[in-house]
Amino acid sequence: MLRSPTLRAFFAAALIIAPLTLRGHDDVATAVAALTLQIEQAPTADLYYKRALEYRALRKRTQAKADLQSALLLDPRNRFATIALIQLCEPGPQAHRLIQHYASFAQTPEEEFEATFLLARYYSQIHLAPISLFLCQGLQTLRLDHNPALDLLHAQVHLDLGQPAKAAGILKKAWHRTHSIVLRNNWIDTALTAGLTKEILPIIQSELTTSRFRSSWLIRRARAARIHQDEAQVNKDLLLALTELTPRIRPAQPDLTLIADRGLIYALLGEHDLAHAALRTLRSSVLPPSSYRILSHHLSEQK
């Protein structure tokens, strides 16, 4: 029997709480209420951070940001709260300040890498591509992880600077390193933007013979054909792609990635009104502009 009343109280509390923790995650509102009670009694950075995550789950950004700021007041070097707050901030002075703050206490190589990556992404978002490029190049030399996110950002910055061939080179190298199909497909698309077809055409041909849905590969082959000024092939492939794509698009609730594909077909076919309609749909959607970059690029070229 425990003699200390305090220990006895702790023991009893543990016996009650332990089985409750095994129930798993309560519904979000209940979790918020429980955390609020605990915060009222004894606030800690961890409690504010946990409640911020619940608010974030409920899409209550203002409350989530307020809690993360409270967490940082109590524990200014709380890595998780800092990163979560950076993610919630729009690109701007506050995000910049927070990234610099994170960099000031990042200790491990992983943390330093992460802080620098966030800064590179920030500069890309505010259209300071040269600074972002400088940071990406530095991070590539560190090679602390093989996260394709860095390769994709690095390539994106080159594209922003009008250097698609360099972007393609980065993605190709990254694909060879990771075998990630996302990197390979981004390399193919970027190589086409750069007018490079030699290495990618065999892959496109292979995918056309082995894929169930061929529309995205038909579009890529059409882009390659346009580089080689084979307009008959361009039209043939694009019409085939359109035939396959149209039944896959639900008019009311479409898969937006297919809207982007169809918009590109229209742009390549010279159907400007239809292509612009697709672009308007995409611009009003949740998709970031990088996801319909090729479509935007073609339409601006055609102007």
Partner 1 sequence: MKSLLFLFLTNLVATADPLPAFSRQPYVQLSTHDSIRVLWRARKEMAPRLVFGETLAELSLSPQSILTRTHPSLTEENAIYKDAPVDTRQFEATLTGLKPATKYYYAIYDGQTRLTPADPSYRFKTNPVPDSEVPVYFWVVGDSGTGGKAQAQVHQAMVDHTAAINRELDLYIHVGDMAYGSGTNTEFSDRFFDMYEPTLRNVVCWPSMGNHEGKTSKGATGTGPYYDAYITPTQAEAGGLPSGKEAYYSFDFGKVHFICLDSHDLDRRPTGEMAQWLKADLEKTKADFLVAFFHHPPYTKGSHDSDTEGQLIEMREHIMPILESGGVDLVFTGHSHIYERSMLIDGAYHTPSIPDGVILDDGDGDPNGDGSYKKSAGLTPNNGTVSITTGHGGTTNRRKGTHPLMRSIILDNGSCLITIEGETITGQMLNLNGKIVDTFAIHKSGVVTHTPIADPWQPASYKVAKKVPRQAPPRNATKLIAKSANWSYLAGSHPSGSGIDWASPSYDITQWKIGKAGFGYSDNDDTTELDMQGKFTTLYIRREFDLPKNANLNKLGLSISYDDAFILYLNGHEVLRQGIDKGQGATANGFTLHEADGKFDYFPLKGIAKYLKPGQKNILAIEGHNANLKSSDFTLHPQLLLRK
Interface ranges with partner 1 (CB under 8 A):
12, 15-16, 18-19, 21-28, 56-59, 110, 145, 147-149, 152, 178-183, 185-186, 207, 210-217, 247-250, 252-258, 286-288, 290-291
Q: What is the three-class DSSP state of 186?
A: helix
What values do phi and psi take at 58, rounded to 5?
-85, 5
Say how far residue 122 (Cα) sits from the centre of its chain.
Answer: 13
Q: What share of the chain is helix, strand, coil (3-state, %, to 5)?
A: 75, 0, 25
Of 21 and 62, the one with the shorter C-beta distance to partner 1 is: 21
Q: Which is nearer to partner 1, 166 or 214 (CB)?
A: 214
Nearer to partner 1, 37 or 57 (CB): 57
| Minimum separation from the CB atom of position 7 to partner 1 (A) | 12
Q: Which is nearer to partner 1, 91 or 230 (CB)?
A: 91
Min dist CB 216 to partner 1, Å, is 6
Q: How far apart are the C-alpha atoms of 178 and 170, rounded to whole Å?
A: 12
The nearest distance, CB 129 to partner 1, in angstroms, is 19
- Element at 132 (helix H, strand E): helix 129-142
- Least distance in Å: CB of 247 to partner 1? 7
Question: Toward partner 1, which CB reaches closer, 207 or 237?
Answer: 207
Q: Which is nearer to partner 1, 75 or 230 (CB)?
A: 75
Q: Give yes or no for a contact between 123 and 129, defined as CB atoms under 8 angstroms apart.
A: yes
Asked whether the beta carbons of 142 and 109 are under 8 A apart, the reply is: yes
- Cβ atoms of residues 86 and 118 within 8 Å: yes
Choose between 14 and 270: whose C-beta lies nearer to partner 1.
14
Report the residue count for the chain. Answer: 303
Show the tokens assigned to 191. Answer: 């190589």
CB of 104 vs partner 1, minimal distance in Å: 22
Q: Could you tell me the smallest distance in angstroms from the CB atom of residue 71 to partner 1?
A: 16
Alpha carbons 203 and 210: distance in angstroms, whole number: 11
CB 134 → partner 1: shortest distance, Å? 23
CA atoms within 13 A on the CB side of 302: 17
Indicate the residue among 213 and 270 with the shorter CB distance to partner 1: 213
Encoded amino acid at 289, one letter: P
Helix and strand counts by DSSP (H, E) for the chain: 17, 0
- In the chain, the N- to C-terminal Cα span, in Å, equals 84
CB of 270 to partner 1, least distance (A): 25
Q: How many CB atoms lie within 10 A of CB 231?
A: 11
